[in-house]
Structure 1
């Protein structure tokens, strides 16, 4: 009991001394640093993976030297540091702020690219088709936003050094989003929700017509319409499938089995 009383008294005394200005305040070591040194130290922290410290330095740099190239560079570095730290919300906010403030900056193409990367790496579970999560519950929003960012970069800055990689990522995203739609369509079909299955498969056909999984999407449409007794729609989907994929394995399997191909797939 006596020890607790002494400890409490010490805390009260420390608080009193601090309030009277008798205890030294924490000194900001960066207070007198010029812009070049503050930027250099921030870059060192960033290179070392100390993202939080790097962000603090960059924010001080922008605050103390708001005019000039250092401030603009600090804004870009803040976005990148938040991205590397895994804080997508702060990273995106920093990117959007930079693009709004400096739409004609020589390196604004990089910010479009970074925005795409942030969304590309967000919610990576969306692309995990082996998970047990209901595929219809996955949110493809980040994938669509990543695609849109890369598309803006490729269209606005076709000569950018980031354009080639952006286009490659766009192709990957198209195939991934198409696979997602087909995966969801299959999910519904297996559960007897044939209308939902046909609708989701049609999304893949209409929006991702160059994706390899379109063949499977058309197949799901034919099977779903057949299950619903919608023969006209089934025949239309079958004609599209035969026209675009005449050597489809589904047709070959049907001939070998002497059964309508959509019933044995």
Structure 2
């Protein structure tokens, strides 16, 4: 125990990964370094764990232990909230071991790190776009893996976020009396197959009904309200659209026209 204690330099887990002190170099058995890092992981001492796994890489760069250590760094950085460092470690693994079965984990963690940084719809959605691209890449490369299964769930969540961004911009244009710009944003939600499955589709149809009525285009307003009523008959947005059409003296729709219903359903449920 005394020997091991002398070999270990305790490091505070707080502070920047780049500014905090590193392990003093001392040649040690690879098993000792790796196992100590793993113990730090189990103790949730993420930064300490990273130091030991990096030391494995530095002292034993061509070993199987080094390959494993890079993946452990990805995980430790992710748990510490150091997403940029986690992505860099994942990229390093992919570059060094592109054919490894564990590359699936590296690709997945890159996507998840971007996913975890998604911000509210009022701000730039660069992380949403990066997460979406990464998750799709996981599905394309490893379609039958458990990572792909989770990626599909996360893609639905990202699409809901991006559709929400379109709605936020559309409402902004609508409030500022720029109806054509608003229509383009709302149409983006109902015309995109991915967005049609999100929680924002009913409101997009309602907003189109609202904007078209404001422009005096009652037929277009009725058509969108009909699609809304057919696909979301129990939605409060349909109740709002129905009442709005009545107030404006437009025909209140019972169902969507047959051709339009079929086209809409084919987009929502292919085949």
The answer to whether 1:253 aligns with 2:243 is yes
C-alpha distance in 1 between matches for 2:33 and 2:251: 69
Give me the whole-angstrom Cα distance separating, in 1, the residues matched to 2:221 and 2:162.
21
Question: How does the TM-score come out when normalised to structure 1?
Answer: 0.73
Shift of 1:261: 8.3
- Show the counterpart of 2:147: 162
Q: Taking structure 1 as reference, are residues 72 and 261 closer, same or farther at Cα in structure 2, changes over 3 Å only?
A: farther
Q: Does 1:119 align with 2:103?
A: no
Equivalent position of 1:224 in the other structure: 211
C-alpha contact 2:112 2:131 (8 A) present in aligned 1? yes
Superposed CA offset, 1:109-140 (max 9, x none): 111221121111104x425xxxxxxx2xx111
Could you say what secondary structure the match of 1:67 adopts? coil
**Are 1:49 and 2:34 an aligned pair?**
no
SS of corresponding position for 1:159: coil
Q: Distance in 2 between matches of 1:90 and 1:237?
A: 50
Question: Any unmatched runs of 5+ in structure 2?
Answer: 1-22, 253-271
The count of residues paired between Structure 1 and Structure 2 equals 224
Asked if the contact 2:222–2:250 (Cα under 8 Å) also holds between the matched residues in 1, the reply is no
For the Cα contact (< 8 Å) 2:163–2:189, is it kept in 1? yes
CA contact (8 A) 2:78 2:86 kept: yes
Report the CA distance between 1:257 and its aligned residue. Answer: 4.8
The equivalent residue for 2:68 is: 73
**Which stretches in structure 1 are left out of the alignment for 5+ residues?**
1-27, 128-134
**Structure-2 change in CA distance of 1:258 and 1:235 (3 Å):** closer
Task: Check if 1:212 corresponds to 2:206.
Answer: no
Instruction: Spell out structure 1 runs of 4+ moving beyond 6 A.
Output: none
Evaluate the alpha carbon distance shift between residue 241 and residue 156 of structure 1 in structure 2; reply closer, same or farther with a 3 A threshold: farther
If you compute each CA radius of gyration, which structure gives the higher value, 1 or 2? Answer: 1
Secondary structure of the equivalent of 2:184?
Answer: helix
Report deviation, 1:158.
2.1
Give the 3-state SS of the residue equivalent to 1:162 in structure 2: helix
Q: Provide the TM-score with structure 2 as the length reference.
A: 0.72
